[in-house]
Amino acid sequence: MINKIKALSAEIESIIANNADEIETIRIKYLSKKGEISQLMADFRNVAAEEKKIVGQLLNELKDKAQTKINSLKEQHAQTDNIEEGIDLTRTSYPDEIGTRHPLSIVKNEIIDIFSRLGFSIAEGPEVEDDWHVFGALNFADDHPARDMQDTFFIQSNPDILLRTHTSSVQARVMEKTQPPIRIICPGRVYRNEAISYRAHCFFHQVEALYVDKNVSFADLKQALLYFAKEMFGADTKIRLRPSYFPFTEPSAEMDISCNICGGKGCPFCKNTGWVEILGCGMVDPNVLESCGIDSKIYSGYALGMGVERITNLKYRVKDLRMFSENDKRFLEQFKKAK
C-alpha cells in the first residue's frame, strides 16, 4: 500500500494540462468517487493494524497533494485565458464611475474665485447661531417689523438660539473681533421656515461680501458689482440698481443684470423685462458698525449678498430648486463637464 501511494504521488507531481477539459479529466481520475485515491481509501480497511497510522497519514497527504495540484492547474489556466482575452486583472469587479462636483459647489467656488481677485478672503461661522449675531447686531430691534421678513427656525428649549437665516451673522462676528480694513466673503448654508416648492426651499445657500475701511463709498460698491456681473455672466452683461430696504444697510439696493438668456430683449425667464434680479446690497448702516465696536465716524463699508441657487439657475437654467437636494444622479451627471 505504501509503495502504491508513493508511486501515485510521483505521478501526480508530473501532471500537466493544457485546457479545462484535461484538468477535469485529471480530477475525475484521482479524486472522483471511483478515482484511484478513493480506491486506495477503500483498501485502507485491509491494512495491518500496526501500519494504519502511517498509511492513513500518507493517504491524507496524497489527497491534499492531488487537490492542491488540480487547483494550481485551474489557476494557471484561468490566468492564461485572461491574458489571451486582454482582461485587466487589476480592475475592480464593478466599473468605477467618475463623480462630479455639485452644481451649487461649482457656482459657489466660481463666486469665491471672482471676489478673491478683488482681495476678499473667506470667513465662516456657525449655522446654529444666537439672536444677537443674526438680528440684534444687524440693526434688528426686538419689535422690528423686518424680523417678519424672515421665517426663522428657533430652538424651542432656548428661543435665543436659532438656525441662521443669512450669512450676515458671520459678518457681525468678524466685525466684533477685527478692526478695519475688513474685506471678507461669507459662503454658507442658511435656513428659513418656508414651504418647499419648485422656487423655494427651507434651506439654501448664500454668499455675502463685506468691505469696511476708510472712505468706502457707494461708487466702490457699484464697481465691485459690475466686475462680478461681467466675470460671472459675460463681458456684455449690464447691471442696474434699484432702491430697496434692508435693516443693516442704508442706502440699500437690489441689483438686476441684463437677462443672459435673451440678451435683454425679453423672454419668459425675465418676464419680458430684459432684466433679472440677482442680489441685494448697500452701504453698511452706521448702527451696525457701532454695534460691532467699529467707529462709524472714521469707517464706512458696503455689504452684498446673493443666493447661490439663484445664480446657478441663471447659469444652467435649472427650473426646479428641489433638484439641488434630491441627489438624482441623472441630474448631477449633467455637470461633469462644468468647470
If one compares 223 and 39, the residue with the highest pLDDT of the two is 223
Most confident listed range (148-152, 300-304, 333-337): 300-304
* Segment 161-180 mean pLDDT: 92
CA–CA distance, 152 with 165 (Å, rounded to integer):
7
Percent of the chain topping pLDDT 70: 91
If one compares 200 and 206, the residue with the highest pLDDT of the two is 206
Of 130, 126, 188, 132, give the one whose Cα is nearest residue 162: 130
If one compares 227 and 11, the residue with the highest pLDDT of the two is 227
- Reported confidence tier of residue 95, pLDDT bands at 50, 70, 90: low
> How much of the chain is in helix, strand and coil states, percent to nearest 5?
45, 20, 35
Rounded to 5°, the CA angle 42-45-47 comes to: 115
Residue 146 pLDDT more than 60? no
Residue 87 pLDDT more than 70? no
Of 10-24, 170-184, 206-220, the range with the lowest mean pLDDT is 10-24
- Residue 139's pLDDT is what? 86
Q: What type of residue sits at position 163?
A: L
Residue 325 pLDDT more than 90? no
- Residue 176's pLDDT is what? 93
Average pLDDT score over the chain: 85
Of 74-83, 136-145, 207-216, the range with the lowest mean pLDDT is 74-83
- Reported confidence tier of residue 262, pLDDT bands at 50, 70, 90: confident
Percent of the chain topping pLDDT 90: 39
If one compares 211 and 193, the residue with the highest pLDDT of the two is 211
- Residue 223's pLDDT is what? 96
CA–CA distance, 218 with 304 (Å, rounded to integer):
12
Of 256, 252, 254, 211, give the one whose Cα is nearest residue 233: 256
Q: What's the order of all strands across the beta sheet hosting 158-163?
A: 128-130, 158-163, 154-155
Q: Cβ neighbours of residue 15 under 8 Å, at least 6 residues apart?
A: 26, 69, 73
CA distances from 32 to 15, 25, 26, 63, 67 (A): 17, 10, 9, 11, 11
- Residue 145's pLDDT is what? 64
Residue ranges of E strands in the chain = 121-122, 128-130, 154-155, 158-163, 182-191, 203-213, 239-246, 249-258, 275-284, 300-307
- Residue 58's pLDDT is what? 80
CA–CA distance, 335 with 271 (Å, rounded to integer):
27
pLDDT, tens digit (0-9, with 9 covering 90-100), for 279-292: 999 999 999 999 99
Most confident listed range (10-14, 235-239, 266-270, 319-323): 235-239
- Reported confidence tier of residue 86, pLDDT bands at 50, 70, 90: low
* Segment 12-20 mean pLDDT: 80
Residue 303 pLDDT more than 80? yes
Most confident listed range (50-59, 189-198, 297-306, 316-325): 297-306
- Reported confidence tier of residue 335, pLDDT bands at 50, 70, 90: confident
- Residue 167's pLDDT is what? 93
CA–CA distance, 148 with 140 (Å, rounded to integer):
10
- Residue 168's pLDDT is what? 92
If one compares 60 and 125, the residue with the highest pLDDT of the two is 125
